[in-house]
Amino acid sequence: MNSENTRRKFLRLLAASPVLAVPGVFRGSLESFLSTGEFTGGEIREFLENPLERAASDDAPIASAEQAINVMDFEPAARKAIPVAHFGYLATGVDDDATVRINHEGYSKIQIRPRRLVDVSKLNTSVRIFGASWETPIVLAPVSALKAFHPEGEIAVARAAKVKGHLQMLSTVGTSSIEEVTAARGTPVWQQLYPTNDWSVGRAIVKRAEAAGSPVIVLTLDLQDDSNRETLRRAMRADTRPCKMCHAEGMSGYLRRKPMFDGLDVSRVTGLHAKDMNWDVVKRLRDTTTMKVVLKGIVTREDAQLAIEHGVDGIIVSNHGGRSEETLRPTIESLPEVLEGVAGKIPVLVDGGIRRGVDIFKALATGATAVCIGRPYAWGLGAFGQPGVEAVLAILRRELEAIMRQAGTPAIDRITRTFLAGGSSK
């Protein structure tokens, strides 16, 4: 009996150890498996040899959006509903997926200092960004290929954003056009930009977004085309569907399936970014459009200062959800130095790892103008379509309002650094 208990303790320790380095898409399944304590050596071996099958067979995912208690409840439901390779694409980070996990874990290091005897009978969760008012500071970040998770893709997300009053950003490589998404949202959305290595293509996308009424172009800086996405590769290996039916070979074949590239000559495009991109591209972009220019992917003081020097209108602190490089630095820890770099001159948003309303509160208290979410609403979409996205947004707003009341902050502009341990107090 003692040796059996020791064996179980060792396996649980191993599950939490980088020695095993289980990809993020499988980690929850393994932890659940080991926590039961009821397994044989053969079962352990079967799990380690077939983690995808085991992950897919985990029981008790929610059966409807209404059953969700928190946004994490949507992940296993999405994993069950989405084809395995598609879920691998959504879940993947790079290398060991550590930065994906650390993005969220970074929030657990921040403590809140609640104030008492504050009238919180009425809450104001609205924010203003570039002169436009939004009901909440929760922004839907650009996520590519949303029809890989649900047939209605970006359109379902836009309808949910309309119902719940949220700002939405559209990916350059989305599976719906900006015209379709704007019509579904009812108001113009922000257009994210991968400029590609052929500026004539990038410029055409910018002009199309401008013509569609988009007020903001979001230039993504935090991803090159050669990120090492091992979890995705493992998921693709386990997916037995004939992928070539949907995925044409080569960059040109890939882009021809993306509506924002319709009618464009993509024969010279070899990547979504030019590998020789520098600050000149920002000047070129500013000279091309009257839209506001926001840079997504700034994580240092130095680059924030350069952004100001180049006339940028806003910044999103982002490491691409841990999908670009294994920095092991959460975006919430990058946020303070970026804020120092901009010195209050432009709005700064942050994404990466936000899973709770209290995470949103901490980001706002640190100084963010708003926060962006990606995976959580994609989980909701994949699991239940538009109702799932609406439920994710409702849960996060409910949790944010709860901590606002508990902390004594009746409005977003009352959430300041004084509410964080280590922040200046009065």
| Distant-in-sequence, close-in-space partners of 274: CB < 8 Å, separation ≥ 6 | 195, 196, 197, 199, 281
User: Does the structure show a pLDDT above 70 at 43?
Assistant: no
The ranges assigned to domains in the chain are 1-59, 104-419
pLDDT band at 256 (very low <50, low <70, confident <90, very high): confident
| Structure confidence at residue 303 (pLDDT) | 98
| Cβ neighbour number for residue 268 with a 10 Å cutoff | 12
In this prediction, residues 164-175 reach a mean pLDDT of: 97
The region of weakest confidence among 6-15, 187-196, 408-417 is 6-15
User: Does the structure show a pLDDT above 60 at 36?
Assistant: no
CA distance 255 to 252: 5
| Structure confidence at residue 27 (pLDDT) | 54
| Structure confidence at residue 240 (pLDDT) | 83
Q: Phi and psi of 374, rounded to 5°? A: -130, -75
* Structure confidence by residue, pLDDT tens digits, 370-412: 999 999 999 999 999 999 999 999 999 999 999 999 999 999 9
10 Å CB burial of residue 188 (0-12, 13-18, 19+) is: middle
| Structure confidence at residue 34 (pLDDT) | 56
Give one DSSP letter per residue of 176-223, joined into a string: S-HHHHHHHHSSPPEEEE---S-HHHHHHHHHHHHHTT--EEEEE-S-
The amino acid that residue 425 corresponds to is: S
* Structure confidence by residue, pLDDT tens digits, 260-296: 999 999 999 999 988 899 999 999 999 999 999 999 9
Asked about 320 being catalytic, the answer comes back as yes
> Is this structure's pTM higher than 0.75?
yes
Q: pLDDT above 70 covers what percent of the chain? A: 84
| Structure confidence at residue 223 (pLDDT) | 85
| Structure confidence at residue 3 (pLDDT) | 59
Name the fold adopted by 104-419. Answer: TIM Barrel (3.20.20)
| Structure confidence at residue 381 (pLDDT) | 98
In this prediction, residues 209-233 reach a mean pLDDT of: 93
| Structure confidence at residue 44 (pLDDT) | 56
Q: Exactly one of 86, 150, 273, 320 is catalytic; which is it?
A: 320
| Structure confidence at residue 56 (pLDDT) | 47
In this prediction, residues 4-25 reach a mean pLDDT of: 56
Q: What is the DSSP letter of 70?
A: S
